[in-house]
Structure 1
Amino acid sequence: MPSALFYLLIITTAEIVTVAFHPLLGLGIYTVLLFSIIIQVAKTNRFHPDRLILALSLVALIRIISLAMPLSDIPQIWWYPIIYLPLLIATIMVAKMLEYTLKDIGLIWGKIPVQILIGLTGIGLGFAEYAILKPDAIAETLSWSNLILPSIILLLTTGFVEELIFRGVLQKAALDSFGSRGIIYISLIFAVLHIGFFSILDIFFVFGVALVFGYLVKKTGSILGVTIAHGLTNIILFAIAPLLLG
């Protein structure tokens, strides 16, 4: 699908412009991208829109919301619910427009022991990514009182909402368009959105993890395990490893 590859190029360009030049320029590109998606979908059959292109509107919204929100005077931990709540609402709306069932987007339990084992891989992934990025901690101390709230927020936002978007709605649309190659396509987009961490190694790391997550969701039919793994990765990366190893 040439248009999908074109949108991948535009998303990559927008990320580079946001990081290397100015966030407002990147915001402008993403805004144009969102409107172009709306126009393209409107020109197709209203009852059977281009599913992948419509789903890609969620990628544009991720950056538009994160760049446009006035977050500078708000503690970093609260950035996540402020950004991800509207994204969750948008994701639900897009899934409904595409007439996806809960099973279509991985919202089933699957085999719980398998999902737990997948989830626990997030511990190792978190320490591995910390070795690459070494970010500052979003928690003050290694105590339950300081870790419980950030952990819940990261699990529900970067864990659940991101996996619902990428391995749920987007992957379903990409698999319908490209077959198994759709996992590669969504993994590329997911990796591109990490350009802002200024690490080529991290981009490759995230791309590899996304490929594995995508395969596991396709194999098991559930996003539960990867939601836990993604949440644990970011809890280790941003809350525990910086205090334990920093």
Structure 2
Amino acid sequence: MGFLSQWLPAQDKFALAGASRLRLINLGVIAGLTGLISGAEVFLFYGHVDPALWLHAVALLLCLILPLKLTEQTTICKAFLLLPLFRLVNLGMPIFFNVTLLWYPIIYGPLIPAGVLIAKDLAVSITAGWRYGILLAPLAIPLSAVMSAIEFSIITPGALIPTDSVFEVTLIALVMLLFVGFVEELLYRAILQRTLTEYLGFIPALFVANALFGLMHSAYGEPLEIVFAGVLGLVYGIFYRYTDSLLYVTVLHGLLNTFLFGIYPLNSAAFGLPFAGEVVSLVP
């Protein structure tokens, strides 16, 4: 408050001090949850699954109990809540089954009603910007194809479908759009980025939310994939900011994964891409 504080009425001084304290608590909660989730992903990157699970469990527990004491930080905790929960479900799946396309509805499906309820509670509109989504949809195909080709060159995953028939490509597109794309864009852009913007401003929120999005790709064990996913998240975040369209970023994300796990692995030579390998993990 400095020089000006000596000229303010006592009531205003207390108000300024209270606002400053509230901001510090908000930043502390955001930094703490971000640090726990980031630390868990670093452990996962180096193959240490157990400590990763424990850190995500601690983050989830804090999201549940902090609002009991810090009621004014409830919104922040709700925005982070589904990130560690998603990871715990993801990592807790049995590892002795082959990875198939049907894993994705099992992992992402339960998060849809939870995400929709939290979005509604935080006054986040799922249907806003649908006109932009429809209008810009044709641009999503070439944009996703190019971005997916870059990511494919980094991780060269195997295909999640046996052939590139119309039925199989349609099936993987539906799964990636309705489950993977929708859930991740809802969690990272519509809920987390939007909520953090209220507390940090757009630019810091954009980087925090999408740094976490990049780190959530740590299971691939490829640093360049983390960087690429983070940059990709920034692109999605900017699109979401200026179109307010969850539909459009969902289409972008879903189509990218359709190319990445369906079209390119089965036709890598035709597109001048590296030969596809095995699917590295369940993390899209």
TM-score (norm 2): 0.79
1:33 equivalenced with 2:59 (yes/no): yes
Question: 1:141, 1:118 → 2: CA distance?
Answer: 23
- CA shift for structure 1 position 68: 1.8
Is the CA contact 2:46–2:221 (under 8 Å) kept in the aligned structure 1?
no
- The 3 A distance-change label for structure 1 pair 241 and 14 is same
| 1:221 aligned onto 2:244 | yes
**Partners of 1:147 and 1:115 in 2: how far apart?**
18
Are 2:124 and 2:190, in contact at CA under 8 Å, matched by a contact in 1? no
Given the alignment of the two structures, is residue 135 of structure 1 paired with residue 157 of structure 2, yes or no? yes
| Match in the other structure for 1:82 | 106
Return the offset for 1:195.
0.9
Instruction: Provide the residue aligned with 1:166 in structure 2.
Output: 188
2: distance between equivalents of 1:96 and 1:241?
37
The number of equivalent residue pairs is 241
- What is the TM-score normalised by the length of structure 1? 0.90
| Cα offsets for 1:6-33 (capped at 9, x unmatched) | 2222111111223424323322221111
User: Does the 8 Å contact 2:158/2:261 carry over to 1?
Assistant: yes
Equivalent residues of 2:44, 2:218 under 8 A apart: no
- Contact kept, 8 Å, 1:126 with 1:237, in 2: the verdict is yes
> 2: distance between equivalents of 1:12 and 1:199?
16
1:133 positional shift: 0.8
Q: Does structure 2 retain, via aligned residues, the 8 Å contact 1:110–1:221?
A: no
Q: How does 1:189-200 map to 2 (within 5 A)?
A: 189-200=212-223
CA-atom RMSD in angstroms:
1.9
| 1:44-66 superposed Cα distances (whole Å, 9 cap, x missing partner) | 33xx5432222111111110111
Give how far 1:145 is off: 2.7
Residue 108 of structure 1 aligns to which amino acid in structure 2? Answer: G
* 2:31 corresponds to: 5
Q: Hey, what's the Cα distance between the residues in 2 that align with 1:78 and 1:132?
A: 24
Residue 48 of structure 2 corresponds to 22
Shift of 1:71: 6.0
| Counterpart position of 2:281 | none
Cα pair distance change 1:83/1:49, threshold 3 Å:
same
Write the letter of the residue equivalent to 1:146: E
Conserved in 2, the CA contact under 8 Å of 1:41 and 1:54?
no
Closer, same or farther in 2 for the Cα pair 1:106/1:10, shift >3 Å?
Answer: farther
> Relative contact order, CA 8 A, sep 6+: which one is greater?
1
- Matches of 1:117 and 1:21, distance apart in 2: 38
**How far is the alpha carbon of 1:208 from its aligned partner?**
1.1
Q: What is the percentage of aligned positions where both structures have the same residue? A: 30
Q: Which residue of 1 aligns with 2:131?
A: 110
- How far the C-alpha of 1:147 sits from its partner, in A, is 2.1
Mark the CA change 1:223 to 1:97 in structure 2 (over 3 Å): closer, same or farther: closer
Unaligned runs of 5+ in 2: 1-26, 269-274, 276-284
What is the match of residue 92 of structure 1? 116
Which residue identity does 2:121 align to in structure 1?
A: M
Q: Deviations over 1:125-150 (max 9, x none)?
A: 11111011101111112211332212
- Residue 77 of structure 1 aligns to a residue whose secondary structure is coil
Moved more, 62-71 or 225-234: 62-71
The farther-off stretch of 17-26 and 182-191 is 17-26
